[in-house]
């Protein structure tokens, strides 16, 4: 179980390898912001690449932890918020290279990133409505149109990589075996540029956004806490842990 990072040729590469599904507990989410922030300020880093090993990019939060310890919701919320904020506010561009499932917190990572490159088998999903939680729409709204986001949020459905690419959320879709090479090649194009130019460009682009995605996510998290306090939320977590499916209401 690990999250490792390395720096080579001006590219910082952060790799998730947390079996079985790269779903992070609250402690792991609280570590991620420091990792991203420390890499972003290094003068030998011009671009950050986030990718994963295993079955999928990110399974979001560890539902089993939340089922057993619902009192940790505030720590989890803080870890999520600070992770996504660290990615979006990083001095240098951040690229996410995704495969398999991109769920919950994985959406937040991608939505906070500057660019997403996806393997052909990747899909995006916000199953929070079936897990007794809320959150994720603020970051998915950086990637997809409003009504597509709402449809995905209300149904907990999947958005395949090709569909996300068609809607402009993804820079390119590549074969799974070529994902890392394609992502590093894309990052290399960025990394070859002046670091000063990249940091100025990142600040300018963030300032051009019409809404504050971090504030929007904090708004959502208030409803996550409200949902967690309802009995339906615990029923949803229990059903997921016991059967892997959604609770019946």
Write down the pLDDT at residue 212: 79
Predicted local distance difference test score (pLDDT) of residue 122: 98
pLDDT for residue 131: 64
Count, residues in the chain: 249
Q: What is the pLDDT of residue 29?
A: 96
Q: Is the pLDDT of residue 121 over 80?
A: yes
What is the mean predicted confidence (pLDDT) over 149-154?
Answer: 90
Taking 90 as the threshold, does the pLDDT of residue 10 lie above it?
yes
Sign of the dihedral defined by the CA atoms of residues 189, 191, 192, 198, in that order: positive
* Helix 26-40 and helix 73-89, axial crossing angle in degrees, nearest 10: 20
What's the average model confidence in pLDDT over 90-113? 96
pLDDT at residue 204 tops 90: yes
The helix (H) or strand (E) run that includes residue 60 is: strand 60-61
Cβ–Cβ < 8 Å for 85, 112:
yes
Beta bridge pairs of residue 102: 58, 124
Distance CA 90, CA 173 (A): 25
In this predicted structure, what is the pLDDT of residue 103? 93
**Cα distance from N-terminal residue to C-terminal residue, the chain:** 35
Among 47-61, 65-79, 197-211, the range with the most confident prediction by mean pLDDT is 47-61
């Amino acid at each position: 179980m690990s999250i490792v990072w390395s720096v080579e040729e001006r590219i910082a590469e952060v790799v998730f390898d947390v079996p079985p599904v790269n779903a992070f507990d609250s402690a792991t989410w609280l570590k991620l912001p420091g990792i991203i922030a420390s890499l972003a300020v290094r003068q030998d880093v011009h671009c950050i690449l986030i990718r994963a090993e295993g079955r999928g990019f990110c399974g979001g939060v560890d539902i089993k932890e939340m089922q057993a310890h619902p009192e940790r919701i505030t720590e989890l919320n803080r870890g999520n918020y600070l992770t996504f904020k660290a990615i979006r506010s990083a001095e240098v561009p951040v690229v996410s290279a995704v495969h398999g499932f991109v769920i919950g917190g994985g959406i937040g990572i991608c939505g906070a990133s500057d660019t997403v490159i996806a393997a052909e088998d990747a899909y995006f999903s916000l199953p929070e409505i079936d897990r007794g939680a809320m959150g994720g729409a603020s970051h998915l709204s950086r990637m997809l149109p409003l009504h597509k986001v709402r449809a995905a949020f209300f149904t907990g459905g999947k958005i395949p990589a090709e569909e996300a690419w068609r809607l402009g959320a993804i820079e390119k879709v590549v074969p799974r075996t070529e994902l890392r090479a394609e992502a590093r090649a894309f990052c290399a194009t960025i990394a070859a540029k002046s670091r000063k130019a990249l940091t100025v460009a990142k600040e300018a682009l963030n300032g051009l956004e019409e809404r504050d995605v971090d504030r929007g996510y904090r708004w959502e998290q208030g409803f996550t806490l409200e949902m967690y306090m309802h009995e339906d939320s615990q029923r949803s977590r229990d059903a997921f842990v016991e059967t892997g499916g959604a609770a019946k209401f």
